[in-house]
Amino acid sequence: MKYIPTLKYKERVDIKAYRGLSEKLQSDITPLIEVFQPEKIELGKIEENEKFFINLGYDLTFLEYVEALESIRKTHPNAIPVINSNHYFNSLSKKELVGAVKKLNELNFQELAVKINNIHNFYVQDQMELALIMLDEIESATFFLDVDHAYKIPSVDRLKNIFTNTIDRLKSMIGDEINKFVLCGSIVPIQSSSFLSYEDEEGDNNMGANNIENILYRTYRNMLNSNGELELYYSDYTIDEKNTLLDDNVIITTFYPVVKYTLEDGDIMVFKSSGRREFSKYPEIAQKISSMIEFRGEEHCEGCRYLKSISDGRNNTGTPATWKLNMITHHIATMAELLK
């Protein structure tokens, strides 16, 4: 599977949405799980034998990160640790750095991964470069190249250039043997203010949807065709956005009903209503989507079944959280079909 969905470890939405997939599809996918709260590294919602990439996204030195991995290794032996460029490396002495690398090697994970963030402003700490060079089997590691907000890049050519330059620089810094790269980023805005309302935009030949081109996926396809020597993978933040609403306790008191439906080609169709807190708009949006040729049918996935049940009046209107959850399930199922 060439698709690696990035899931925030928020028991309320992302992991639950992932569990909405068929068991077969879950077994085929190796997701990237991002944990942002230290108290959640026990990963109670992840089965012990599951294989997944694990990224600890909170403030850590590299030494503290390796110490956290010791606990994860005991409970989830198939986890693939992700060394994050946002962790603090240069705060460590050379002795501490060497000790941390030695300890990580001794943990003997089956695989390793590296995540370079904000690659359009490419920067790797000197101590991180040294740590990567010293690690065992670094040439077989998977490198996540995160462009952050891919939807802000205006063209495939521009985004391809950012990824290609980053790959060339990493090969020159770490070693030309590294070959597994994941193109990663947010593909759609999370803020409802980014979209026009369907009430204002619909006309005789227009249902009022906002159509968001998946630049990241199109760039991946382009690079796949022109870089046959590289082992390339694709990762997105589903229909969510990087670093948005990381606190599980956030309560959304005001909202505009928004449904993001992933199309068969990976693009996103977004319906937004201008009616603030009008839950009754969800069935209207569901009816619009279910009547369109782009609708995959309720047999496609749990997300499509949910949408059709709202459209037919067999379920209640839903909430922002339940719609997001089900449309994440639909998105992962759709992208998995494209990226087998």
Average pLDDT over residues 208-230: 93
Question: pLDDT confidence of 229, banded at 50, 70, 90?
Answer: confident
Top-confidence range, 10-19, 33-42, 51-60, 300-309:
300-309
Q: Is residue 250's pLDDT more than 60?
A: no
Amino acid at 75: T
Average pLDDT over residues 190-199: 86
Calpha distance 8→241 (Å, rounded): 10
Do β-strands 180-186 and 268-272 pair in parallel, antiparallel, or remain unpaired? unpaired
Question: What DSSP letter does each residue of 173-184 carry, written as one string?
Answer: HH-TT--EEEEE
SS3 content of the chain, % helix, strand, coil (to 5): 40, 20, 40
pLDDT given at position 192: 82
pLDDT given at position 245: 57
Average pLDDT over residues 330-339: 98
Helices (H) and strands (E) in the chain, counts: 11, 11
Question: For residues 215-238, b (16+ Cβ closer than 10 Å) or e, as one string?
Answer: bbbbbbbebbeeeeebebbbbbbb
Percent of the chain with pLDDT over 70: 95
Q: Is residue 252's pLDDT more than 60?
A: no
What phi-psi label fits residue 211: left (phi over 0), alpha (psi between -120 and 50 degrees) or beta? beta
Q: Listing from the earlier edge strand, what are the strands of the sheet with 6-8? A: 6-8, 32-35, 52-56, 79-84, 113-116, 142-149, 180-186, 231-236
pLDDT in tens, 112-164: 999 999 999 999 999 999 999 999 999 999 999 999 999 999 999 999 999 99
Lowest mean pLDDT among 164-178, 237-251, 306-320: 237-251
Lowest mean pLDDT among 67-81, 82-96, 248-262, 285-299: 248-262
Listed in sequence order, the DSSP H helices in the chain are 14-19, 23-28, 62-75, 94-107, 126-134, 156-174, 198-201, 215-226, 281-290, 302-311, 320-338
pLDDT given at position 247: 46
Are the beta carbons of 222 and 285 closer than 8 angstroms? no
pTM of the full structure:
0.95
Average pLDDT over residues 58-75: 94
Question: pLDDT confidence of 205, banded at 50, 70, 90?
Answer: low
